[in-house]
Amino acid sequence: MAKIGFIGLGIMGKPMSKNLLKAGHELVVYDVVEASMKDVVAAGAKGAASSKEVAAQCSFIITIVPNSPHVKAAVLGPNGVIEGAKAGSLVVDMSSIDPIVSREVGAALAKKNIRFVDAPVSGGEPKAIDGSLSIMCGGSQADFKEAEPILKCMGASVVLCGEIGAGNVTKLANQIVVALNIAALSEAMVLASKAGVNPQLVFEAIKGGLAGSTVMNAKAPMMLDRNIKPGFRINLHIKDLDNAMAAGHAVGAPLPLTGQAREIMEALKVDGMGDADHSAIVRYYEKLAQAEVKRPS
């Protein structure tokens, strides 16, 4: 079993770190929120006072923090990983960030002979808890092979998509598809409700055909139950779509539907639903149509 450093114990990182402990790995952990650290330490991990301290004790270091600036701070900033890591260490960043930043971080670490893989995840909190995340990786074949057994303790699918940055390009593509699936499902469910057709039966009728998807199966029941408790928050999806738009602009790939989905989420954020699950996109369409999607009483 490996000794692993784990930095970032939020809604995703906490259950992911606990799955590594369950698999028998030794963990040294750090988070800026002390309560999150205490929870994971209680499960068997050893706490550290900084990212630097984590890296000084471990040659395999995982980071999963909210966005690009947080990755730069945790890895390259004062008391960051780069200050504590030994030459030859492997840093695996599982945050969902701008792929350009992944490449910048990888290049900065390479100057210190520290290896880097970007490995963002998809599946939200439920799949983080049950260890069935989809993990999309960018890096060298050799570094991926070293990381793969550890990543498989947290994910059901672990795929090398290309060089550093390719993991986050893949994650952005994933987030576009998820956002647009939820928006399309929302439109359809509101149409059914406004037209007087039971949306539960519409879901049952179409989920097995070409329109069916993992997104539909996960989010339609939430819409019908009027449940917007977050598995994946709108604020985080906004961050991902902002990164997707930036990446698209950088390479000359227009993303018109992504832009529309992004603005729908912004409207929900303004309405106070930034911390709601992204299935709350249905509330935007309900407001337009003055209709309500729910199971019949």
Known active-site residue 171: yes
Q: Indicate which residue of 18, 52, 127, 171 is catalytic.
A: 171
Cα–Cα dist 205/189, whole Å: 12
Under 8 Å CB-to-CB from 111, ≥6 apart: which residues? none
Residue type, 252: G
User: Cβ distance 157 to 87 under 8 Å?
Assistant: no
Token reading at 56: 């000084």
Residue 160 backbone zone (phi > 0: left; psi -120 to 50: alpha; other: beta) = beta
Residues annotated as catalytic are: 171
